[in-house]
Amino acid sequence: MVREPEPGRAETASAAEAATAMGDEMTRFIRLINATKQRLRDDPRGGDRILLGRLVHDGARRATDLAADTFLDLSTVSRQIRSLVDRGLVERRPDPDDRRGALLSATAAGVEAYQHYREQRNEHLAQIFDAWEPEDRHQLVQLFGRFNDDMAENYQQLFGGNPGGTPPSAAAAQQGDDE
């Protein structure tokens, strides 16, 4: 289903009108993402994607940093990391700055698993975008990146700290590579 903007409305919508329309579309998008996540829960490896993505793109991190970066509870991250370590996808080594802590990093097998997940995601998105005009694809990617940057900045202003642990300008280049 192709949704066309109301004639003459797109260029003249106020910020409040745009916010209402965007809120409606975000709600719909989040429902679709949640439905996809629900399906992935049936996949015993479904939780690996986001943690491996952060470790592959950001490098070695402590579990507490990984939890903050991914908006997950530390107990959830610890449980998933234990499984990733047991399967040889993540390695744990002493933190050179604080020997009491451990740094987590993706192994070669972890990088390979992440690349496989990413290829699956990209194939799915390519199927969706196949019917789109190249300019429309480009425009969506650019505007979605800008929107994510602004959301990250707003998050920082509202709650302090950065939601992804990466400055918004760098996050734009990386965020899409997590899942």
Q: Give the contacts of 103 (CB within 8 A, at least 6 positions apart).
A: 60, 61, 62, 92, 93, 94, 95, 96
Assign residue 60 a region (left: φ > 0; alpha: ψ between -120 and 50; beta: otherwise).
beta
Percent of the chain with pLDDT over 90: 50
| pLDDT at position 143 over 80 | yes
Note the pTM of the prediction, 2 decimals: 0.69
Side-chain-side CA neighbours of residue 104 (13 Å)? 28
Cα(122)–Cα(116) distance, integer angstroms: 10
Model confidence at 162: pLDDT above 60: no
The mean per-residue pLDDT over the stretch 62-72 comes to 87
Mean pLDDT computed over every residue of the chain: 82
How far is CA 95 from its chain centroid? 26
46 or 124, higher pLDDT:
124
DSSP state of 115: H
Dump pLDDT digits (tens) for 104-118. Answer: 999 999 999 999 999
Q: Name the residue ranges covered by the structural domains of the chain.
A: 43-112, 132-179
Strands (E) across 109-156 are located at none
Phi and psi at residue 75, in whole multiples of 5°?
Answer: -65, -35
Number of C-beta neighbours around residue 109 at 10 A? 14
> pLDDT-derived band of residue 170, with 50, 70 and 90 as boundaries?
very low
CATH for the stretch 43-112? 1.10.10.10
pLDDT in tens, 12-44: 689 999 999 999 999 999 999 888 777 766 665
